[in-house]
Structure 1
Amino acid sequence: MMSLRAKVSGVIAILAASMLSVAISAPASAQTNPLGYGSAQEEDSAADKPESQRAIEAATAEDEDLPALTKADVDAWLDGLMPYALREADIVGAVVTVVKDSEILTSRGFGYSNLESKTPVEGDDTIFRPGSISKLFTWIAVMQLVERGEIDLDKDINTYLDFEITDAFGKPITMRHLMTHTPGFQEQFKNLLMADPALYLPLEDILKSTPPPARIFPPGETPAYSNYGTSLAGYIVQRLSGESFEEYVERHILEPLGMTLSTFRQPLPAQFEPYMSKGYNSASEGEAQHYELVSGVPAGALAASGEDMGRFMIALLDRDPALMKPETWRQFYETIYQLTPPLNAMALGIWQLNKGDLRIYGHGGDTNFFHSDLNVLPDRNVGIYVSVNSTGHEGAGGTLRFAVTTSFEERYFPETITPVGPRLATAKDHGALVAGIYESSRTVATNFAAILRILGQQKISMNEDNDLVFSLFGAPTVWREVEPYVWRHVDGYERLAAVVNEKEELEYVTFEPISPIIHLTPAPWHRSSALWLPLVAGAIGVLLLTLVFWPVRAAVRWRYKAAFPHRGSEATAFRLVRIGAVLVFVFIAAWVYILLTLLADVAGLGDAFVAQLRIAQFTQIFLYAAMAITLWNAFIVWQSRQSVFAKVWSSLLSIAVLIIVLFAAFNGLLSLDANF
């Protein structure tokens, strides 16, 4: 499951970390390729040479220009990369597994699975938490039932449920929508992760005790990555099979593949505990954290060893008949839900992650403490899995796992890097259309967590060369238009695309590698951070100055023995308006506390958090009171003989409170909904 720290950006920019690999190890793109692989000129000249000469030149090129994908070379590369990377990222331990030609080429552990006891990570038997990579097991389980005729991908899912998902937008949700993350659900945080086993509920109980998240998009139209949708799919597997989801996966996926050190069961069964890595915030903090209990088991509860994940990758590459028939595998991989050509898209649950001309399928995954990435390269019969057991310095664990898989692919497969084409003549006009403020389709709209939508907005701008500039991980990256409404990252392989309607109006933007699961939509004016954050900052400044100068003015009067200048209603209004400012800050402080709690520990978002949330929701009464007070104060001041400055300031106070009220209203802070 995606960690909350990753969600806050709204765009899930953590999914695009691959370009940071150059900061960790030298990419293969820096190596020369004198034979010019892939050029028509080279192919024509090579055709005139004797076969023996071509074979010698190919072998020489492989030896001299490209590292050989062997256990010895991969191990040497990892030994040079991983210890340094873990140290720089402040991560306790990691596992890397590489498969090739239906065999585990290498499975290596680095760092520690238990920092206190200095227990090293072992590639063969140390268990990590792959997070949302668990979803691939869920989708295979679904396809097994599709193969048996028990699930129709295009039938209303209410057909298979014993509770109802109410229709919205005039359309029901289908299993195909769940598998492509297009059911239209908003994000949901409540009981996403738990720390206390006493609070843990089985899948059926958690789904029936928690109302479904609101539907904010029509089904099938907008990808919005959904843990809840995957949980629904897993529950359907459970109901139709007559087995618990955990039992079904054991019998029909784990056991056939020989994944003996893997389980979806929670809490972790005793036989796996000796092999389980601890999870950490960081190596420098050094404190082992709790075993995370994932309420939506099908969405992210897997625990698995590196070698077991290698066996799973082999099954994906071999299209293992022990799991599904060839036709079902073909449907799984080749049913592409392409909303934004030519960008990578979603298949039936598995993502296209193509890099340059290299075809890749895969999935990423995060819990609070574990961060993982899995890529399989079907044309090369190669796969790589990376998992780290710490969030690391400023979330470095999330970027490291993608950097390792990308560096691996750049090292051994030069087709990941293709030249950036020339800039189009339309770059200026199209860039001007795209430049703006955007929010993520994976978002919240109907409760207090909607505040994360505006806090996570992203800006796309245009430079003097008419290229787009879009920040990833705090660093600006440049994108050149290479096809109409398609831009290419000039220092990488990622593409960004905009979709416009018949009137040439912008509908959305997305970019690789998040294009299969998230769209960026232009932020409307009433939620634009460019407008509201400066307004809110100014409003807080006005209120704060009012409070600061209250005791200052009193001290000056005391020092010079001056009388208080107001009488009657003017005096009452003077004092009440400052109390009103205090009430506004009480409201703000309550919500800051709620948001800090939300971000600090996803595992704490249960009933106790709801009680705190209700208190914060109650403080909106203070906001309404402050609004009434400042309006009355402005009326009194303007009716009096006070100075022009006093009259203007009284108006500014009313406007400041109004800005806070509108900001809160537009961003969910006045909602009484506790289903978050």
Structure 2
Amino acid sequence: MTANFNKIHQIIENSMKQNNIPGAALAIINDHQIILSKGYGKTNVEEWGSAVLPSTLFRIASVSKLFTGTVMMMLVEKGLIELDKRVQHYIPWFTTANQEFASMMTVRMLLTHTSGLPTGDDEIYHYEKDGLFRYMKEVVPTLPVLFYPGTAYSYGNHALNIAGFIAEQVTGKPFSAIMQELLFSPLQMNSTTYDPLKAMTFPLALPHESAEAGDKKISHQFFDQTASYPSYYSFSSVEDLCKFAMFHLQGGQVNGHSLLLKSSIEEMRKKQSDWFTLTDGGCGITFFQEKKDGIQRFWHYGQYSSQYSSQFILVPEKGIAVIALANGENIFQAGYEIVDELLKEEKINSQHAVPSIQLEDVPEWEAYRGSYLHKNLGIISIDLVDEKPLITIKNEPYELVQYSNEIFTANDVSGTPIHTVGFPSRPAEVPDPFLVVNTQMCPAFIDNYERNPLDWKEWEGVYSNGQEFFHVIIGDDSLVITEKPSNHAFAAKAIRKNQFLFENGFVRFININGTIVLEFDNAWRYKKID
């Protein structure tokens, strides 16, 4: 493989320009050798901002999950954890809003995003040493479970936070201390940390927020969320992440010594939840995976608000890693482009060969006829017209085209797939059908609510998480939700008394310990304050 460094630099610089990113860092490993480690831009937009270095720290957001998954496998090897043990084996008092489903969850489900728990978290427990414990006691019991545990994929932060608490329970140590002892110190990731006070002693890319005329200014509030350390709150550099990448590429070896067995590395890469995509995408133990041009990739990306973004991609069969960090949005897209650039000479025929379809491989369509709820696309319906299966998404009907036994596509007029639709095998104990549309699990939904604005009176008011504010009022036939201070407003149509759909999402109103809470996508919560 020959790296076109000019093209690679251009990809990063274009991303920084398009996304108004103050600073970024990039590292590339090829054939198990670091061939590039470089900083771009400045740590902040002020005159005193310094040049970004390979050692500059960024918040790496959800790339942190890979640290947690790796250490959980170390604890498995030590005999302290079994992947298929129930969570309640390690935390007897563990529960969620659905106690029955909580009792079914296993450690493996937490680490492969198949527990049914939503994404999101609560912006509380800042700087509190017992934040993870309090979160487990006060927040987790209020969480919904979106589907029967173990049956489908649904990405989320809560599952990894719970896994981190299990690590605390079996070791008797704080989560950050476990990570330092088992991972950061052995790999000599000397600046990687969860502690913002320690991060401030190293070169540090600062967070920013929008100013007037689209400019950036430093955000002078640096949050610490101890409850979310296991899911997305670590700081690291491309310099340190190269050591982590090399450790994974070399099958768990560090300086000739095994820190993690090769079989554990393989377990992390094994697909354990399916996205039902044309690239054979899915999730292992915290690693996402897919095949592109016949080559397997493993990765995780991160986005922390609009302040930080990250990308960590491994191509083990080529000894390749691409790591990109930024104090701005969407640097992960540049990471994908760089891997494509590195592998362009390795491409094989990437046309998707449609498997031979036998009549018995066709789903029993009558069992799937009906409506389903997608958290971004809204209500989706499956029907049969002239014995042909149709899916309707955002009021647009598409004929379903079979790709494999369980995967169909909804295509545009040119025949290009624009939606993937999975029809997973349904366990006998799961009573209702479900779909997987564009990787998202969609439960069956009966639309029988008679809309009445009088039902929504108690939802009017002001909601906040301490950082963001939303005003809710009743419109003509919907709720109008306005984000402050931007004054961006959107209408939300009722599908239940307390559940509403807007153009690209889902909101509901719930009562938690006597307080009404506005919740976006079963995840992000804002308490009613007025």
Structure 2: distance between partners of 1:245 and 1:431? 47
Structure 2: distance between partners of 1:603 and 1:387? 27
Matched residue SS, 1:125: coil
Q: Could you tell me whether the CA contact under 8 Å between 1:423 and 1:480 is conserved in 2?
A: no
Q: 2:222 aligns with which of 291, 307, 315?
A: 291
Partner of residue 486, structure 2: none
Structural mapping, 1:524-673, within 5 Å: 524-526=446-448, 589-590=460-461, 593-594=462-463, 597=464, 604=467, 663-667=496-500, 671-673=510-512
Distance 1:97 1:467, change over 3 A: farther
Partner of residue 345, structure 1: 282
1:204 aligns with 2:133: yes
Q: 1:94 aligns with which of 24, 28, 36?
A: 24
Unaligned runs of 5+ in 1: 1-67, 392-396, 441-452, 541-582, 624-658
Matched residue SS, 1:332: helix
Alignment deviations for residues 130-173 of structure 1 (CA, whole Å, 9 cap, x no partner): 21111111111111111011111122222223643364149432
Alignment deviations for residues 26-69 of structure 1 (CA, whole Å, 9 cap, x no partner): xxxxxxxxxxxxxxxxxxxxxxxxxxxxxxxxxxxxxxxxxx43
Alignment deviations for residues 440-497 of structure 1 (CA, whole Å, 9 cap, x no partner): 4xxxxxxxxxxxx4x65276899xxx9999999xxx9999643345346876999653
Structure 1: distance between partners of 2:377 and 2:215? 27
Greater helix proportion: 1
Distance 1:304 1:588, change over 3 A: same
Structure 2: distance between partners of 1:291 and 1:119? 17
1:400 aligns with 2:336: no
Alignment deviations for residues 181-208 of structure 1 (CA, whole Å, 9 cap, x no partner): 222224453226x7xx567753223323
Matched residue SS, 1:98: strand
Partner of residue 628, structure 1: none
Q: 2:436 aligns with which of 482, 497, 510?
A: 510
- Counterpart amino acid of 1:133? V
Q: Could you tell me whether the CA contact under 8 Å between 1:355 and 1:493 is conserved in 2?
A: no
Deviates more, 1:327-336 or 1:369-378: 327-336
Offset at residue 588 of structure 1 (A)? 6.3
1:189 aligns with 2:22: no
Distance 1:155 1:588, change over 3 A: closer
Distance 1:231 1:169, change over 3 A: closer
Alignment deviations for residues 603-636 of structure 1 (CA, whole Å, 9 cap, x no partner): 638xxx8xx99xx8xx99xx9xxxxxxxxxxxxx
Distance 1:400 1:344, change over 3 A: closer
Q: Could you tell me whether the CA contact under 8 Å between 1:372 and 1:385 is conserved in 2?
A: yes
Structural mapping, 1:359-508, within 5 Å: 359-368=296-305, 369-391=307-329, 397=330, 400-401=333-334, 403-405=336-338, 407-408=340-341, 411-415=344-348, 417-418=350-351, 421=354, 439-440=373-374, 453=375, 457=378, 481-487=402-408, 496-499=421-424, 507-508=433-434
Offset at residue 103 of structure 1 (A)? 2.1
Matched residue SS, 1:271: coil
Q: Could you tell me whether the CA contact under 8 Å between 2:28 and 2:37 is conserved in 1?
A: yes
Query: Highest CA radius of gyration, 1 or 2?
Result: 1
Matched residue SS, 2:424: strand
1:226 aligns with 2:156: yes
Alignment deviations for residues 98-140 of structure 1 (CA, whole Å, 9 cap, x no partner): 1112222212322332011363553411211221111111111
Structural mapping, 1:276-315, within 5 Å: 276-281=205-210, 284-289=214-219, 290-294=221-225, 295-315=227-247
Structure 2: distance between partners of 1:481 and 1:431? 13
RMSD of equivalent CA atoms: 4.5
Structure 2: distance between partners of 1:314 and 1:526? 54
Unaligned runs of 5+ in 2: 478-491, 501-506, 518-524, 526-530
Offset at residue 236 of structure 1 (A)? 1.6
Distance 1:671 1:348, change over 3 A: closer
Partner of residue 328, structure 1: 264
Matched residue SS, 1:296: helix
1:158 aligns with 2:94: no
Matched residue SS, 2:177: helix
Larger RCO, structures 1/2 (Cα 8 Å, 6+ apart): 1
Q: Could you tell me whether the CA contact under 8 Å between 1:280 and 1:389 is conserved in 2?
A: no
Partner of residue 105, structure 2: 173
- Counterpart amino acid of 1:304? S
Q: Could you tell me whether the CA contact under 8 Å between 1:95 and 1:122 is conserved in 2?
A: yes
Offset at residue 226 of structure 1 (A)? 2.6
Structure 2: distance between partners of 1:480 and 1:409? 33
Structure 1: distance between partners of 2:185 and 2:298? 23
1:82 aligns with 2:12: yes
Q: Could you tell me whether the CA contact under 8 Å between 1:359 and 1:377 is conserved in 2?
A: yes
Offset at residue 88 of structure 1 (A)? 2.3
Matched residue SS, 1:353: strand
- Counterpart amino acid of 1:363? H
Alignment deviations for residues 491-523 of structure 1 (CA, whole Å, 9 cap, x no partner): 6999653336699x99444366x4xxx423454
Structure 2: distance between partners of 1:209 and 1:83? 44
Deviates more, 1:660-669 or 1:243-252: 660-669
Q: Could you tell me whether the CA contact under 8 Å between 2:121 and 2:158 is conserved in 1?
A: no
Q: Could you tell me whether the CA contact under 8 Å between 2:365 and 2:389 is conserved in 1?
A: no
Greater strand proportion: 2
Offset at residue 235 of structure 1 (A)? 1.5
1:265 aligns with 2:187: no
> With structure 2 as the length reference, what TM-score do the two structures score?
0.73
Structure 1: distance between partners of 2:190 and 2:260? 20
Structure 2: distance between partners of 1:370 and 1:478? 40
Structure 1: distance between partners of 2:369 and 2:38? 44
Matched residue SS, 1:168: helix
Offset at residue 297 of structure 1 (A)? 0.8
Structure 2: distance between partners of 1:116 and 1:173? 48
Q: Could you tell me whether the CA contact under 8 Å between 1:184 and 1:217 is conserved in 2?
A: yes
Distance 1:251 1:87, change over 3 A: same
Alignment deviations for residues 580-616 of structure 1 (CA, whole Å, 9 cap, x no partner): xxx88975652xx43xx4xxxx6638xxx8xx99xx8
Offset at residue 180 of structure 1 (A)? 1.5
Structure 2: distance between partners of 1:307 and 1:477? 48
Partner of residue 565, structure 1: none
Structure 2: distance between partners of 1:182 and 1:502? 14
Structure 1: distance between partners of 2:251 and 2:2? 22
- Counterpart amino acid of 1:404? E
Offset at residue 328 of structure 1 (A)? 2.4
Distance 1:269 1:660, change over 3 A: closer
Matched residue SS, 2:351: coil
Alignment deviations for residues 387-420 of structure 1 (CA, whole Å, 9 cap, x no partner): 33223xxxxx277346535643663542483356
